[in-house]
Structure 1
Amino acid sequence: MRFRGVSHALSLFGLAFLLSTSVCTQEFPSAVLTLDTDAFVNKILADWNSPGGAAVAVVRKTPQGDWNVETKGYGTATLNGSKITENTRFSIGSNSKLFDILSVGILINNETLSPRLSWTSKIASVIPGWGLMDPVASKQATIIDLMSHRTGMPRHDISFRWSDDLPSIVIPPPPPSLKPSHKPHQVKKLKSLRPSAEFRDGWQYDNMMYMVLAHIPEVLMKMPFARFVKQHIFDPLGMTSTTYSADGANASGELADGFTRQNGTVRVYPYQLTLRGPDGTGGEDGSVLSGPGGVITSAADMATWLQTLLLKGVKPGTNTSVIPAEAIGQVATGITIMSGTAPFPELSPVVYGGGQSRNTYQGHELIEHGGDITGFHSQITRLPFDNLGVAVLTNDNDSGFLFMEIIKYYLIEVALGLEHVDWNSRYKTLISAPAPPPPQLPANASLPQVKLETLTGKYNNDGYGSFELCMMFPSNPNASKACKDLTTRAPTIFPGLFNSNVPTFISDWSTASVRYVSFTHVDENVFELHGVSSYPTGDPAQPYWVESISGSPGGSFAEIVVEGTRALGFGTTGLWGAGNGVSDPQGKTVRERAEAWFDKV
């Protein structure tokens, strides 16, 4: 038995030696961003007819301990034709989440805090007044639960507004006796939003939980979250192009435009409408979206960030630890199952930690995250066993989320000498597949059970807030002043969007996702919902262009409940953004079946 144990130990040692020798003698190409790579990336941008482009960063630690750092830009940065460079700044969307949770990790490592914070600290013990609709989740949810998206909450993305601040989302309002001094927009959010699954039942992506996590530094350190991250991460790492300030990024002259296409015409999303705080500015204090999606950065700074992550929190070129290694390891450890099956043979199932997913590509482990926000997409990936990092940032809203993956895989293949996979053809095939048919509408629709005019007025859900429903078609001579103003401007700000032969309502929700929501009649008391955003063109002949989106592939709907001659409220479906495989709410009444219920007030 002793010999067998020694033999087993020696065999493991020998295997480890062979593996280490193999790694040390691996041939590294002198460069990844070669002329061949330039040709490949430019061809991909042409194949996808991109009006924008991409900035990339590739970092590799050599067997000698040196770093090869390569950064480059491809394509067009702005509508005036300026080119993308390594210093062009992009919004990186949900790749902001890693900065968010690592700021909490820094606090967990802070021995001066009393009581100490830990990954298993219950949110209820950290943020007074915190609560969800589910009492179990309210009491038991920890930092790990929130960061790994297992609270049971769906996205509810159109429930938060630019006028919100973090306390207004996280904490219910004070007792009635204190309400006179309470800001009007500070309504109870999370506690009024319906969960779509049981606590810890599975992975459901939820931006609002990262708003809660961003509130922790504010509660414990008494400073704005965005300034905390700048002080403890951006500045110590010398990431001078990285910020939460839209105003600062714009003033740099390096900010990319976010491009889209509308019927063949290239359009630009106005950036100042994308990330702004409750006061309407895009300053250093950030916005309600800072935690889950507010970072603006460049490929050059992402090269520094990737090296820092691969060095487990140490600033490149120094021995200075900026982020605790334990925190980087914790958030990269799989907790929930993001995808239980692999869509292609080169890939694996995916697990999720905190602002990081973990999977493999051709047998090489990846730790990564994607980011999507209006006009921009990003993918930031590191291969810890290969000491390799790759970042791809793009300003093509329509195709960037696909071709950034094509570019990412190509760069990994070149860096590691892997077999080339034709991801371009694969993704082209995927998007060429027929789209799901739109919901079938009845040929002979019946009007609602009450007069259309009685449906107008104000509605409220404590999680989503209040709004006024205005009737566009047919016109309403008794409309409020606000509704008259909106419907009068409608032909200008919503050019060609609505069919005047179909009863249609519009409401100004002013959410962080969409500005307006339209209600188009389907049958009886059911209306189809679309998020509508209107953007200036700079062309006096057609001053606005408009974008209309549905909340889900199967459509989003509102069913109005009436009693006699009046409307009581309505319930929504297809809007809350639940995880894959999550069942719709069940019940005998509209209120019971609704993802969110709005009372008429």
Structure 2
Amino acid sequence: MVYISSGKALMLSTLVAISFAAEPRRLRLNETTKSPPRGNPLTEEFNQYVKDLMDEWKVPGMSVAVIDDDQVYTEGYGFAVLPDTPVKPETLFLGGSTTKAHLAATIAQMISSGDYDDVFHLGWDTPMSSNIRDDFVLEDEWATAHVTMEDAVSHRTGMARHTISWVGTGEPGDTGKEWKTNKAAVRNLRNLPMTAEPRIIFQYCDLMFIALAHIVETVTGSWVGDVLKKALWQPLGMHSTFLSYGDARKSGQQIATGYFWDDYAQKYVGQETDPVQSSSAAGALISNVVDYSKWIMCLMNETAPLSAGAHTQIRTPRILVGPSEATGWQVTSYGLAWERATIYGEVVFKHDGGTQNFGANVIWMPDTKFAVIMFANAVDGGNLIEEVITQRLIEERLGLPVNGRREYMDVTKRNWAQAMPDFDNATDILYPNRTTDASSQAVDINLFAGNYSHPGYGTYAFSVENSYIVPGETRDKQPQEQLVALRQDLITPTRFVLRHVTGDFWVAYQIPIRGAALGRDYFHARFYMEVDGKPSALEITFAEATERISEVVIQFERVGN
């Protein structure tokens, strides 16, 4: 393996509708898989292209690795720490959900080795509850007994994402508390509603990877970070890869600061650590593109430390995802923490990762032996431009003529605008037929202040504030009275705002306290009243129903006075 880095520092997913399946022409097999490597694609012209995208989409820093056969080209762009600490290929970033593939591969190796036949007696078909019976309990008794490890790893358990239920109780680097966090999160699954039957439809659920991590910790008696290190990172020479921020800091290596762009203040806001770092093997990995190149080379070439059986399992699709607005792929399957599709006649495996302030994207093409790995210290623009840059690199590697390529930036901008939550028009969007009768809009907001609790989603302490929806963002002509609750304990610390619409109906706004704009959202909310005129419960619809998925409606009971 040859690493090539120019070392120059120039000044991050899923939102790009890259229409891989609708390519301008289909390449014949011998036009791609048999074409020789094309040399270093990270040219001066390409570097300027990346710099321009970073400037436009407010991404402070980014690192890139391109693998072409046995050559690895790396580059750092922009700044790891503002104002002037440059990104290098060795700079550490948070990998988000690209962590999941490491856990899945480790379990595949454990199964393939035969050393764990007593606990994984049915391989991937082993029920989740068989090894953590007291902890793994779902809403449905049949699902509790029959949901398997394969169901969990391929997001087909029938469980919705339920991110707002996810409490982070451990400090990054404190392995004892992280272990407790995994177990506590798994034990909370019993309090969360399922939204589909198992094995019917793909529903991404981070919490199921927490459950898988808890199983690994239970059967090995070791912290999952140590298990991943022993199984993968040490054998591959990945000495810059960690599952805790504490371990990364102790290494003395450069760690990028995560940022988000405050559009109202017109400045970057930094956050040295990211709350998602307590997300364990679902999203807490810290690494760099140099180490990830070793990992992806192992997968592309099907080499040790993973067995042939483990590699086969990694590449085997488990469930169809269907058409995706995120990638534009018409047919996508999902397996062991990898999306699988065919583009330009080539099989590709892909997964991205996003946290409050970091974005990552990994894609590899096993037949062509080509891969792109990208890390960024911003998630909104980071994930977005990573997709666009990756597409360009793939098209260049496959030799597509320039006039036969698609222009993705117009599509990107359109999808970005559609994905951003429209707080200004939230009331009209959620309640288009609401009454304008003044008597229905009059309410004593102080009556609704108080604590509201749900066994799975925790307690919200709402108090009255005369303020804006987002502090500092004066989109309103003047502040308004509203109910506000802060949940600093969540994996993504969040501010919740309730604004009255009419009668018992409200709009609930969700705003990450320090993080990406795309983490914002708004929902239907409703208070239920007692005969004495006091509220008894608050109902929030966190996800609307679709054709095959039930809505996520959580009712918080009022507690105390």
TM-score (norm 2): 0.81
1:577-592 map, 5 Å: 581-585=547-551
- 1:38 alignment partner, one of 47, 52, 55: 47
Q: Aligned residue pairs: how many?
A: 506
**1:513 and 2:492 equivalent?**
yes
Among 344, 359, 365, the alignment partner of 1:383 is 365
In 1: Cα distance, 2:325 partner to 2:471 partner: 42
SS at 1:132 equivalent: coil
C-alpha contact (below 8 Å) 2:276/2:356 kept by paired residues: no
1:600 aligns with 2:558: yes
Q: Does 1:149 align with 2:155?
A: yes
- Residue in structure 2 matching 1:439, options 423, 427, 438: 427
Cα separation, partners in 2 of 1:449 and 1:166, compared to 1, 3 Å: farther
Is 1:326 aligned to 2:309, yes or no?
yes
**Cα separation, partners in 2 of 1:413 and 1:125, compared to 1, 3 Å:** same
Segments of structure 2 that go 5 or more residues without pairing to the other structure are 1-27, 171-176
Answer yes or no: is 1:423 the counterpart of 2:408. Answer: yes
CA contact (8 A) 2:96 2:355 kept: yes
Greater C-alpha Rg: 1
- Greater CA deviation, 136-145 or 264-273? 264-273
Give the CA deviation at 1:21: 8.3
Amino acid at match of 2:395: E
Secondary structure of 2:451's match? strand
Listed one character per residue, the Cα deviations across residues 387-440 of structure 1 (whole Å, up to 9, x for unaligned) are: 112111122333112210111112222223234433234323444679775331
> 1:369 aligned to 2:354?
no
Q: Distance in 2 between matches of 1:88 and 1:55?
A: 8
Structure 1: runs of 5 or more not aligned: 1-18, 62-66, 172-184, 277-286, 315-320, 474-489, 536-545, 586-593
2:317 maps to amino acid: G
1:372: how far off?
Answer: 1.0
1:567 aligns with 2:525: no
1:231 CA drift (Å):
2.2
Give 1:268 deviation, angstroms.
2.7
The 8 Å contact of residues 259 and 271 in structure 2, kept in 1 or not, is answered as: no
Aligned equivalent of 1:557: 524
Q: Which residue of 2 aligns with 1:123?
A: 128
The Cα of 1:84 is off from its aligned counterpart by 1.5
- Residues 167-219 of structure 1, C-alpha deviation per residue, up to 9 Å, x if partnerless? 76776xxxxxxxxxxxxx78941011011112222001111111101111111
1:139 CA displacement:
1.2
Aligned pair in 2 of structure 1 residues 361, 237: CA closer, same or farther (>3 Å)?
same
Cα offsets for 1:353-379 (capped at 9, x unmatched):
121001122222111111111111111
CA distance in 1, matches of 2:324, 2:380: 26
Give the Cα–Cα distance (whole angstroms) in 1 for the partners of residues 45 and 284 of structure 2: 34
- Do the aligned partners of 1:472 and 1:506 also contact (CA within 8 Å) in 2? no
1:303 aligns with 2:293: yes
Query: Hey, what's the Cα distance between the residues in 2 that align with 1:135 and 1:214?
Result: 22
Relative to 1, partners in 2 of residues 1:140 and 1:363: Cα closer, same or farther, differing over 3 Å? same
What is the identity, as a one-letter code, of the residue corresponding to 2:316? Answer: T
Query: Is structure 2 residue 262 aligned with structure 1 residue 294?
Result: no
* Aligned with residue 379 of structure 2, among 387, 394, 397: 397
Describe the shift of the 1:550–1:226 C-alpha distance in structure 2 as closer, same or farther (beyond 3 A).
closer
Residue by residue over 1:51-80, the C-alpha shift from the partner in whole angstroms, topping out at 9 and shown as x without a partner, is 41321111122xxxxx11111112222212
SS of 1:439's partner is helix
What do residues 462-498 of structure 1 show as CA deviations (whole Å, max 9, x unaligned)? 111233222325xxxxxxxxxxxxxxxx89x944578
Q: Describe the SS at the equivalent of 1:418.
A: coil
1:332, distance to aligned residue in structure 2 (A)? 2.7
The answer to whether 1:55 aligns with 2:63 is yes
Residue 207 (structure 1) aligns with: 206
Letter in 1 for 2:525: A
Cα distance, 1:274 vs structure 2: 2.2
Q: Please, which of 445, 450, 454 is the counterpart of residue 457 of structure 1?
A: 450
- Pick closer, same or farther for the CA change 1:549–1:352 going to 2, 3 Å: closer
| Alignment match of 1:163 (pick from 169, 172, 175) | 169
Alpha-carbon distance, 1:597 to partner: 1.7
Q: Percent identity, aligned pairs only? A: 23
Residue deviations 1:300-329, cap 9 Å, x none? 1111111011122x2xxxxxx212332233
Task: Specify the SS of the correspondent of 1:595.
Answer: strand
Post-superposition offset of 1:336: 1.5
Specify the SS of the correspondent of 1:57.
Answer: strand
In 1, distance between residues paired with 2:266 and 2:397? Answer: 37
Cα distance in structure 2, aligned partners of 1:426 and 1:72: 27
TM-score by length of 1: 0.76
**What whole-Å deviation, never above 9, does each CA across 1:90-121 have from its counterpart, x for those lacking one?**
11111111012122223213433351411110
Deviates more, 1:363-372 or 1:250-259: 250-259
**Superposed displacement of residue 269, structure 1:** 3.6
Of residues 457, 461, 465 in structure 2, which corresponds to 1:472?
465
Q: 1:449 to 1:334 in 2, by over 3 A?
A: farther
Q: Give the superposed CA RMSD.
A: 3.2
Query: Are the aligned partners of 2:166 and 2:185 in contact in 1 as well (CA < 8 Å)?
Result: no
The one-letter amino acid of 1:427's match is T
Aligned to 2:395: 413
Q: CA 1:232 to 1:429, structure 2 compared with 1: closer, same or farther past 3 Å?
A: same
The 1-side partners of 2:53 and 2:348 are apart by 23
* Structure 1: distance between partners of 2:186 and 2:111: 30
The equivalent of 2:13 in structure 1 is: none
| Structure 1 residues 511 and 82: alpha-carbon distance in aligned structure 2, compared to 1, 3 A threshold | same
Per the TM alignment, residue 451 of structure 1 is displaced from its structure 2 partner at its CA by 5.2
Displacement of 1:32 in angstroms is 2.1
The residue identity in structure 2 corresponding to 1:209 is M
Of 506, 512, 531, the match for 2:510: 531
> 1:153-192 maps to which residues of 2 (within 5 A)?
153-163=159-169, 188-192=187-191
Query: RCO (CA 8 Å, sep 6+): is it higher in 1 or 2?
Result: 2
Output the amino acid matched with 2:315.
A
